[in-house]
Amino acid sequence: MLNILSIEDLVFFVQKYCDIIIVALFCIGVTYLITKAWKRAAKEREEIPGRLGVPLIGETLSFLSAANSTKGCYDFVRLRRSWHGKWFKTRLFGKIHVYVPSTEGARTVFANDFVQFNKGYVKSMADCVGEKSLLCVSVENHKRIRRLLSDPFSLNSLSSFVEKFDKMLCGRLQKLEASGKSFKVLDFSMKMTFDSMCNMLMSVTEDLLLQQIEQDCTAVSDAMLSFPFMIPGTRYYKGIKARRRLMQRFREIIERRRRGEDSKEDFLQSMLRRDSYPSTEKLDDSEIIDNLLTLIIAGQTTTAAAMMWSVKFLDNNREVLDKFREEQLSITRKKAEGASLTLEDLNDMAYGKKVIKETLRMSNVLLWFPRVALEDTKIEGHEIKKGWHVNVDATCIHYDPDLYKDPLIFNPSRFDEMQKPYSYIPFGSGPRTCLGMNMAKVTMLVFLHRLTSGYTWTIDDSDTCLEKKAHIPRLRSGCPITLKSLRDGI
Ligand code: HEM
């Protein structure tokens, strides 16, 4: 080149075309950087970041250690999200899990439930709640069983439940106030939800029988996620034994009803009334008893935990409590002394309903909803392989500052505005939406109505640590309170 062009020629060339050369170099540089960034982004879009660790074990030990701490198992998720970003994958108990953090991802999973995704089959769970439980059956049976179970849980059918629950609640709160003793809201709400559900489902009201059924249901619930080996002393063994006793009891109740020795108006009776219907329009006995057990187990701990959190959140937010109490007192003033609450009264609790919504948003009783991918698929551009577990992360969505301003602040009035689709999912969504959501909401409303319109309380232990080894977040203290009648202060 130098033979043809002298140095002077070169300098002259560069000087003459200096602008063009700079622009050309600039363009090449920018194109190079954009291509590199695009390739990296494309790779990231496909590959979800995360640490899979060694096969089988992966990050199981870290997960168990979080579950065994007073921060709760969601701390495991929170930490990984801070390391890897919103989308991350991990390996737990030998399976790859992806945590789905967005409304768009939730929509994809819920809209394709039973088609591209399904609940994973867990042997211990099927052994405990039964093969005919809504939690275990195939898609065709699920549709039929759910349709037949749904009616007694519709809002209209819950009016007698509201009145019965209200009576039971008033009596128990009065006794507790009169005793002047501190009691744990969690224990109280566990007993209340259990007794009222057994009453609504099969009219069981005797104390001893209730106690025996509750003990057995707790043993079954504890065994649902255990190793399925029938070794005496293990949780699984105790759970299976408890299930056998429960099935025997439920069958006896059904037989007494069929012999006409016992006639009650309840959920069970509404199922037995279908005895002469074609098979597509009724449940057989094993479907009835498996789902009685499922309803009790799915309904008790969830509702009880939410009731406990509602007391804690109201106590921490006095302005909200005052506004809520004012609405409840305005309803009490309109009613005759000693009259029970009705569904219509609950409809007048516009602010109360928002308090319940906000409690469920913040407490995240079910932290995430697990599914398994039935085929290779994509969620929001992220590749998901067949067999991977995808967990719709309700907690992440409920605490997303782009969806909820100041998400850590308890502010029921945020629900004055409409929510974006799939941004509020405490009861899930799609074909598996919670069957008992109306029942849970009315239970919480009646409870908070009686508590705030009849009493003030003090929390006797302000410890904020969570219970260890619990898959539902609950205060370790159980939230002990002492009641004082509101009349004493007037
Ligand atoms: C605050 C209380 C409650 C919460 C937060 C709650 C939450 C949920 C959620 C998120 C699901 C769907 C899980 C998934 O998609 O994997 C679900 C399902 C279910 N819930 Fe609830 N629940 C509550 C109370 C109740 C009650 C009171 C009952 C019954 C008496 C009940 C019965 C069920 C049943 C049977 C299912 C399974 C539905 C199906 O697979 O088709 N729940 N619940």
* Ligand 1 atom having least distance to the Cα of 296: 30
- Whether 314 is in the pocket of ligand 1, judged by its Cβ within 6 Å, is no
Q: Whose CA is nearest to atom 24 of ligand 1?
A: 299
Tell me: do 151 and 20 sit in the same domain. Answer: no
Give dist(CA 363, CA 213) in Å, integer.
28
What is the DSSP track for 191-238? HHHHHHHHHHHH----HHHHHHHHHHHHHHHHHTTS-----TTSHHHH
Tell me: do 251 and 341 sit in the same domain. Answer: yes
Any domain includes 469: yes
Any domain includes 58: no
Least confident of 21-30, 41-50, 244-253, 346-355: 41-50
Tell me: do 34 and 113 sit in the same domain. Answer: no
pLDDT at 195: 98
Tell me: do 115 and 216 sit in the same domain. Answer: yes
pLDDT at 46: 58
Closest to 247 in 3D by CA, of 213, 278, 224, 223: 213
- Whether 440 is in the pocket of ligand 1, judged by its Cβ within 6 Å, is yes
Any domain includes 87: no
Q: Whose CA is nearest to atom 18 of ligand 1?
A: 434
Phi, psi (deg, nearest 5) at residue 408? -90, 0
Position 321 confidence tier, pLDDT thresholds 50, 70, 90? very high
Tell me: do 20 and 163 sit in the same domain. Answer: no
Tell me: do 33 and 105 sit in the same domain. Answer: no
For residue 343, the CA-to-ligand 1 centroid distance in Å is: 21
Any domain includes 366: yes
Q: Which domain holds residue 17?
A: 7-44
Residue 45 pLDDT > 90, yes or no? no
For residue 210, the CA-to-ligand 1 centroid distance in Å is: 22
pLDDT at 489: 60
Any domain includes 373: yes
* Ligand 1 atom having least distance to the Cα of 427: 10
Q: Whose CA is nearest to atom 14 of ligand 1?
A: 369
Give just the sign of the alpha carbon dihedral 342, 348, 349, 353: positive
Any domain includes 51: no
Hey, what amino acid is at 327?
A: E
**Beta carbons of 345 and 327 less than 8 angstroms apart:** no
Tell me: do 315 and 180 sit in the same domain. Answer: yes
- Whether 394 is in the pocket of ligand 1, judged by its Cβ within 6 Å, is no
How does the average pLDDT of the chain come out, rounded?
Answer: 93
Domain count, the chain: 2
Residues 137-179 have pLDDT tens digits of: 999 999 999 999 998 898 888 999 999 999 999 999 999 999 9
- Whether 369 is in the pocket of ligand 1, judged by its Cβ within 6 Å, is yes
Residues in CB range of 273: below 8 A, 6 or more apart? none
Residue 116 pLDDT > 50, yes or no? yes
- Whether 457 is in the pocket of ligand 1, judged by its Cβ within 6 Å, is no
- Whether 302 is in the pocket of ligand 1, judged by its Cβ within 6 Å, is yes
Tell me: do 248 and 342 sit in the same domain. Answer: yes
What is the DSSP track for 30-72? HHHHHHHHHHHHHHHHHSPPEE--STTTTTHHHHHHHHTSTT-
Give dist(CA 403, CA 397) in Å, integer.
8
pLDDT at 38: 58
Residues 73-108 have pLDDT tens digits of: 999 999 999 999 999 999 999 999 999 999 999 999
Position 44 confidence tier, pLDDT thresholds 50, 70, 90? very low
Q: Whose CA is nearest to atom 16 of ligand 1?
A: 369
pLDDT at 121: 79
Quote the Cα angle for 187-190-195, to 5°.
125
- Whether 439 is in the pocket of ligand 1, judged by its Cβ within 6 Å, is yes
Position 1 confidence tier, pLDDT thresholds 50, 70, 90? very low
For residue 342, the CA-to-ligand 1 centroid distance in Å is: 24
Residues 365-386 have pLDDT tens digits of: 999 999 999 999 999 999 999 9
Residues 416-445 have pLDDT tens digits of: 999 999 999 999 999 999 999 999 999 999
Residues 185-243 have pLDDT tens digits of: 999 999 999 999 999 999 999 999 999 999 999 999 999 988 899 999 999 999 999 99
Tell me: do 114 and 251 sit in the same domain. Answer: yes
Position 15 confidence tier, pLDDT thresholds 50, 70, 90? confident
- Per-residue CA distances from 243 to 136, 215, 216, 251 (Å): 16, 11, 7, 12
Any domain includes 50: no
Q: Whose CA is nearest to atom 11 of ligand 1?
A: 434
Position 5 confidence tier, pLDDT thresholds 50, 70, 90? low
Tell me: do 32 and 152 sit in the same domain. Answer: no
pTM above 0.95, yes or no: no
pLDDT at 13: 65
- Whether 137 is in the pocket of ligand 1, judged by its Cβ within 6 Å, is no
Cβ neighbours, 10 Å, residue 235: 16
CATH (domain of 450)? 1.10.630.10
Position 2 confidence tier, pLDDT thresholds 50, 70, 90? very low
Pocket test for ligand 1, best of 132, 393, 427 (most atoms within 8 A of CB): 427
For residue 226, the CA-to-ligand 1 centroid distance in Å is: 21
Length, in residues, of the chain: 490
pLDDT at 480: 98
Mean pLDDT, rounded, for 466-481? 96
Q: Whose CA is nearest to atom 27 of ligand 1?
A: 299
Give dist(CA 342, CA 256) in Å, integer.
32
- Whether 152 is in the pocket of ligand 1, judged by its Cβ within 6 Å, is no
For tokens 């908070």, name the residue. 448
The residue that leads in pLDDT, 103 or 6, is: 103
Give just the sign of the alpha carbon dihedral 423, 426, 428, 433: negative
Q: Whose CA is nearest to atom 41 of ligand 1?
A: 432
Mean pLDDT, rounded, for 274-285? 95
For residue 440, the CA-to-ligand 1 centroid distance in Å is: 9
Pocket test for ligand 1, best of 140, 150, 302, 395 (most atoms within 8 A of CB): 302
- Whether 434 is in the pocket of ligand 1, judged by its Cβ within 6 Å, is yes
Tell me: do 228 and 311 sit in the same domain. Answer: yes
Any domain includes 437: yes
Sheet with 455-459, strands from edge to edge, namely 183-184, 480-485, 455-459
Tell me: do 342 and 268 sit in the same domain. Answer: yes
